[in-house]
Structure 1
Amino acid sequence: MRRFVGALLAVLVFGALGPAGADIGKYKNFRTAIYVVVGTTKQLADPAEFARQYDRMQRQLKFDKVYVEVYRNHIFATDAETEAVKKAFEAKGIIVAGGVTLAAGGKNGQFGTFDYEDSADRAECQKASELAARHFNEVILDDFFFYTAKSDADIAAKGDKSWTAYRLGKMREVAKDLVIGPAKAANPSVKVVIKYPNWYPHFQGLGYDLDKEAQMFDGIYTGTETRDPFVTDQLLQQYESYGIIRYFDNIRPTGHNGGNGGGWVDTYSIKYADRYAEQLWDTMFAKAREITLFNWHDLVDPRYPVAAGARGAWEKRPTSFNWADMAKGYTPAGKGDSFGWGRVAGYSLEEVDKALGDLGTPIGIPSYKPYQSDGEDFLQHYLGNIGIPIEMTPTFPQGAKLVLLTEEAKYDPDIVKKIDAQLKSGGNVVITSGFLRAMQDKGFKTIAEWETTGRVIGIREFVNGFGAGNGQSLGQPKTPILFPEVRFYTNDSWAIIRGTAGAKGNPLLLMNGYSKGTIYLLNVPDNAADLYAMPQAALSQIKHYLLADFPVRIDAPDLVSLFAYDNNTLAVESFRDAPATVNIVVPGNDAKLRDLKTGKLVAAKAPPPPQKDARGRPILAPSGTAFPISLEAHSWRTYRIER
């Protein structure tokens, strides 16, 4: 009977979720979990306190599961406290798993991690793992399973290795000998999951390993917290809440041997409530099968009331996050009782759940990011924020029509050979200026004789044109934007989008034919955020070329993202503070576009009249049928393409 119950719990926790629309929890398309930190675990062991907090939480949002933490920052929950909380949740029909945060406090605002050359820290790590495994058949590690210590013992153990090489090896050993091994010795049925945080380009430098370590655990989990892109030190872009799920899904596919369990969002460092909602929506647009809300205390405590924040510019407009509707969904327990962050989460998840069943499997331009790679950090998410759908992958996507290579791809020693093979097979490749800078003297010139000069040019105007003498202004930025200067041979390569600075020109999208394919250079501003300062017409031309073989693209200002799916559906989301006009462009002239919320067809835009250049020659206009929509600030809409 014990083995049967254990197997049943494993199916409930780890079994592949049903198809979109299946009743897999209290929401139709995903499960919702809440993480309970150890201090709250100790509080909830009191039945009266549990009853009070549980009642307040369930009036704010629906949830299916909790992660009950037993250790954090040298604080352990007792066996009795852990069992009391576990049984209290189970009595309510809630799935219960365990949580461990292998953090060692902090100093001066900096996170502290264990020193894994210290015997006391190693013993404490093992003790925490064993404690959690004794009580739960699933245990998740919160995102502090990395290594920052540089004690004398660490320095001696490192020897001649780089810190990256030392820490990667050490954390694989720690995972095996101090976490997974002891946990399974304490409970052979336990599944140990590692939650990785949002700063993935830097993982390897601190011992996080998406290659070997990620396969050692029974599953992985994804930190999708992007918070506010201007007030946090990481400056993570909004699109990452979607993009990182897609990358981690390609590392451990959902439903495959544990897979990528879901996304994880907290309530911190935001200037307005909509930003919290956006993180939840974008995690779910990426088709995460579970969302974890961190943490129970902040969601439920009445001393932490939710404030609308700096949303005055759009608070009276019909946005996707409707404050008044959100507030109406809360039933006060009595006079003076008000909702908290839990209600914001509940409303946001209710709204996106209505749309997810229509959306298929996400698709995007494959961008190859090898394991343990860095360079042009987070660039894919800046591109996502200008409307280019990206699907990051840890393996080279052979057979793709087009592959995007940022500087990260330099870590593959065979990358030039793979570019050659991709082009000879008839596929196309887009490299960035960062990749060119890294590889121009390491074999890339066998493909195209391009190079960055080390100088920069302040671009004052953007120009479209293909062929000798062609050119059409794509607009001017408010202030010059600095781009790397790129050198190429005229007539061997063509600058199909270029920038000018007085009498000086510079390619911004460069192309060269090679065998059966085409290679492009996407010149990226010195500051990637200056992509947002480029004129809309220039951004749209970049998308016209990069998405030539894609089923849909958008002509939109910056900070409008496109999420596309394999069943001819799409979502468009604006992170802007004011309404925006967006043209959804579908290839061909026989397409129709249906709004999935209203069920109505969107009227197509009349094609523009033919234009000519200064010499009277026709200018090639972007192909496709355009459907104009008005998108509210901080809002999203979903559509279906029909033929």
Structure 2
Amino acid sequence: MARYKNFNIAIYFTTRCIASINSLEEFERDFGFFEKHLKCSKVYLETHRDDMDTPKEKLEQLRDFFTTKGMDVSGAITTTLMKTTKVKPLIDETGVFGCGGSILDKSGEVEPPVEEGYQRIWNAFCYTDEASRRKLQEVAEYTASIFDEFIIDDFYFTNCTCPSCIEAKGDRSWEEFRLQLMTEVSRELVVGPAKAINPKVKAIIKYPNWNESYPETGYNPETQKDIFDLVYTGTETRDTNHTFQHLPRYGSYSLLRWFENLKPGYNGGGWIDQWNSIQNLGYYMEQAFLTFFAKGRELTLFCYSWLVDTVYIPPLGHELEHLDQIIGEIGKPLGIQSYQPVHASGEEHLLDYLGMAGLAFEPTPQFPETDGLIMLTAESAKDPEIMGKLKAHLMKGGDACLTSGFIRETQSKGVEEFTSVRYTDKKVITKDYTILGPGWGFAGDYCGREQVTFPGLKYKNNASESLILANKEDNNFPIFLRNEYGKGTVYLLAVPDDFAEIYLYPPEVLTFIRQYLMSGLGTYLEGGPKVGLFLYDNDTIILESFQDQACKVKLHLAGDNRKLIEVKNGKELPASIRKETETIFEIELWPVYYRMFRITE
């Protein structure tokens, strides 16, 4: 079967998808829909999900079917069990709640049996229940006996608070207990038994898109990265406005980059689904683009029965064909290195909101080894050695941007060494701003579209320098400041209580912040929010609009003789302005469509 040059596309089959296949002849015709529109090079065949275990004979039959097509075939496991739910007065939730895939049966959906059991969100396993533990080990061994590789879907977590788990937890926090429990389960019940059955089997753990909740549910990248052979990244951001997860779409890029930096070379790829995309097919395709902008090696499409003969696949296939022609041109991703330690939370997805506002990031679970500017958020403050690391970074000439959340978490813990800025319990609500930047062309007063709520920071005048102010009647409050320390510069950024209100800043305010934080990268965007900038170490860049209408931005590049060549057609984009120190290009962007350029002299 034909393959793309620069990435792989895989189709995921749940147990329900497989149960839909009544004959290979009929399935051959149905799967032809994917073959018509995509170059699929791999499938994942599921052995267990909820109440269903796929028979070995059927798995082997499908494995051989796809192998004859020249496709790679791996196994898959979803760690859920079908249970009933509790019944309370006037609330009857008893029933079967599956977690993925549909049975495409002409005689109607097959209704699985209802079991008695304790309710858990998404019917995840209880990992202190001996019967459930035995079941998990049996499934791992069974899967390894058929396949040389398998992936675990992102229901591999625990939220169980049954009496058995409460007793096992003891005096530990739920976070501490679950992190230790899932490390033991991964080693002793999944990977160890699987490799005992099949020593050459490779086990992959797929992490969900809700990384802020990993510790509370037992996901432990710190230990599991060394237990499993590969990790996989959930890059499903879907439609931010129509899902309870409300994930900024930039997260389809940033989370994969974080996992790549967790253990370079061991990130198998990204994973998307079609949920919340029917009202805007662009969101579905955008998830795929961002996965590959982040250097994803493979993209898994979940799942067969939800995608076969649907509107999602033809446009995706059309766009992937074009992307494959140019994505090989990009180098290693670059950006402001942001320190996001494992098990940390505090300003969840702030980087993604800032990324949607035109800042380029390279998130990392290790403290950045760089002489450039780094971003420290409330998550960074979870490192007990952060103050010493920050001081060393500044003393050798590096710069740092500290968010208001970082100030809050480190106040009275050492941040006073670097700035006079203090976090207070005050709030500031305004849409009026003043830019005070020295010698900058947009210094002045600006009004945003709507009011924004900020934390009311305070500082010592002339001990710290305010660059942008939030204005009130006869008063103002800083939202962007700086301090010099050692050989470096410390920037302080107040972020709104609602991070999405970053999009309400006037374009001039956003531009000023980008200019100062990205100067070390030699480029920044001038313009409004919801435009992504993706940088690479071989002088290629990608611009992606997250807006719902056409827009124009100006790209500033350091140097007076820079050129922009559009990669897809080789045409040079004329410069709008050439100055002694920079070249400026005006670029038009459209929803969904990205533009890739090569920077030359």
TM-score in same-fold range (> 0.5): yes
Residue 29 of structure 1, CA deviation: 0.6
Residue 377 of structure 1: aligned partner: 348
> Quick check: 1:171 aligned with 2:182?
yes
Q: How many Å separate the matches in 1 of 2:124 and 2:73?
A: 27
Deviations 1:400-423 (A, max 9, x none): 311100100111001011111011
| Structure 1 residue 444, shift from structure 2 partner | 1.1
One of 287, 295, 302 as aligned partner of 1:287: 295
Q: 1:391 to 1:577 in 2, by over 3 A?
A: same
Equivalent position of 1:628 in the other structure: 586
How far apart, CA to CA, are the structure 1 residues paired with 2:79 and 2:222? 21
TM-score scaled by length of structure 2: 0.91
What residue number does 2:272 align with? 265
Structure 1 residues 449 and 25 mapped into 2: Cα distance closer, same or farther (>3 Å)? farther
Superimposed CA distance per residue, residues 53-112 of structure 1 (whole angstroms, 9 cap, x where no aligned partner): 222221121100001111100310111111111111111111100000001247567412
Q: Residue 75 of structure 1 corresponds to which residue in structure 2?
A: 52
Q: Which residue of 2 aligns with 1:96?
A: 73
Q: Distance in 2 between matches of 1:45 and 1:418?
A: 60
Note if contact 1:45-1:84 (Cα within 8 Å) is conserved in structure 2: no
Aligned to 1:37: 14
For residues 474-532 of structure 1, what are the alpha-carbon distances to aligned partners after superposition, in whole Å with 9 as ceiling and x for unaligned?
52112221111111111111011222112111111110011111101011011100000
- Structure 1 match to 2:307: 299
Structure 1 stretch 46-55 or stretch 570-579: which is displaced more? Answer: 46-55
Q: More displaced, 429-438 or 353-362? A: 353-362
For residue 44 of structure 1, give the secondary structure of its aligned residue in structure 2. Answer: coil
| CA shift for structure 1 position 552 | 2.1
Is 1:544 paired with 2:515? yes
Q: Percent identity?
A: 37
1:506 aligns with 2:477: yes
Rounded to whole Å, the distance in 1 between the matches of 2:69 and 2:569 is 37
Give yes or no for contact 1:547–1:553 (8 Å, CA) kept in 2: yes
Distance 1:40 1:458 in 2: 51
In the alignment, the residues of structure 2 paired with residue 400 and residue 127 of structure 1 have an alpha-carbon distance, to the nearest angstrom, of: 50
User: Within 1, Cα distance between the matches of 2:24 and 2:249?
Assistant: 40
Partner of 1:573: 544
CA shift, 1:251, in A, is: 0.8
2:379 aligned counterpart, secondary structure:
helix
Give SS of 2:122's match: strand
- Whether 1:411 and 2:382 are equivalent positions in the alignment is yes
Number of equivalent positions: 566
Structure 1 residue matching 2:225: 3-state secondary structure: helix
Question: Separation in 1 of the partners of 2:521 and 2:188?
Answer: 47
- Cα RMSD of the aligned pairs, angstroms, is 1.9
Alpha-carbon offset, residue 42 of structure 1: 3.1
* Unaligned stretches of 5+ residues in structure 1: 1-23, 307-340, 609-621
Contact in 1 for aligned 2:556/2:582 (Cα 8 Å): yes
Residue 474 of structure 1 contacts residue 538 of structure 1 at CA under 8 Å; is this kept in 2? no
Alpha-carbon distance in 2 for matches of 1:465, 1:527: 25
Write the distance in 2 (CA, Å) between the matches of 1:175 and 1:403: 34
User: In structure 2, how many angstroms separate the alpha carbons of the residues matched to 1:577 and 1:125?
Assistant: 45
Q: Distance in 2 between matches of 1:603 and 1:187?
A: 59
After superposition, the C-alpha distances for 1:20-73 in whole angstroms (9 at most, x for unaligned) are xxxx97111111111111122233363223322222221121100001111100
What secondary structure, in the 3-state scheme, does the structure 2 residue paired with 1:104 have?
coil
For 2:194 and 2:181, locate their aligned partners in 1 and report how far apart those are by CA, in whole Å. Answer: 18
Q: Secondary structure at 1:454's aligned position in 2?
A: coil
Change over 3 Å in CA distance of 1:533–1:470 after alignment to 2: closer
- How is 1:603-622 mapped onto 2 (pairs within 5 angstroms)? 603-606=574-577
Alignment match, 2:148: 137
TM-score, normalised relative to structure 1: 0.85
Cα distance in 2, alignment partners of residues 578 and 166 from structure 1: 48
Aligned to 1:481: 452
SS at match of 1:486: coil
CA contact (8 A) 1:43 1:49 kept: no
Residues of 2 paired with 1:261 and 1:470: CA distance?
45
Match of 1:51 in 2: 28
Partner SS, residue 348 of structure 2: coil
What letter matches 1:278 in structure 2? E
SS in 1 for 2:549: coil
Please give the secondary structure, in 2, of the residue aligned with 1:549. helix
The counterpart of 1:111, out of the listed 113, 122, 145, is: 122
8 Å CA contact retained: 2:371, 2:396: no
Tell me, yes or no, if the aligned pair for 1:463 and 1:471 is still in contact at 8 Å: no
Q: Is the 8 A contact 2:34 2:40 kept in 1?
A: no
1:530 aligns with 2:530: no
Q: Structure 2 regions of 5+ residues with no counterpart? A: 86-92, 98-120
Cα shift at 1:348: 2.6
Pick the aligned partner of 1:184 from 195, 199, 203.
Answer: 195
State the distance in 2 between where 1:453 and 1:469 align.
30
| Per-residue CA distance 1:186-224 (angstroms, 9 max, x = gap) | 111100010001011210100001111122101100000
Give the match's secondary structure for 1:227: coil
Q: Give 1:465's match in structure 2, choosing from 427, 436, 439.
A: 436
Q: Tell me how far 1:598 sits from its aligned partner.
A: 2.5
> What is the SS of the residue equivalent to 2:275?
coil
Give the Cα–Cα distance (whole angstroms) in 1 for the partners of residues 236 and 212 of structure 2.
15
| Alignment match, 2:366 | 395
- Does residue 496 of the first structure (1) align with residue 490 of the second (2)? no
Q: Contact 2:2 / 2:39 at 8 angstroms: preserved in 1?
A: no
Residues 577 and 585, structure 2, Cα contact 8 Å, conserved in 1: no
Whole-Å separation in 2 of the counterparts to 1:383 and 1:400: 22
Q: Name whichever of 224-233 and 491-500 sits farther off.
A: 491-500
Q: State the alpha-carbon separation in 1 of the partners of residues 11 and 371 from structure 2.
A: 38
Matched, 1:342 2:353: no
Q: 1:67·1:98 contact (CA, 8 Å) conserved in 2?
A: yes
Partner of 2:159: 148
The residue that corresponds to 2:105 in the other structure is none
Question: 1:600 — aligned with what?
Answer: 571
In 1, are the aligned partners of 2:371 and 2:397 still within 8 Å (CA)?
no
Check the 8 A contact 1:424/1:515 in 2, yes or no.
yes
Which secondary structure state, in structure 1, belongs to the residue aligned with residue 196 of structure 2?
helix
Q: 1:623–1:536: structure 2 CA closer, same or farther, 3 Å change rule?
A: farther
Task: Tell me, in whole angstroms, the C-alpha distance in 1 between the residues paired with 2:399 and 2:449.
Answer: 33
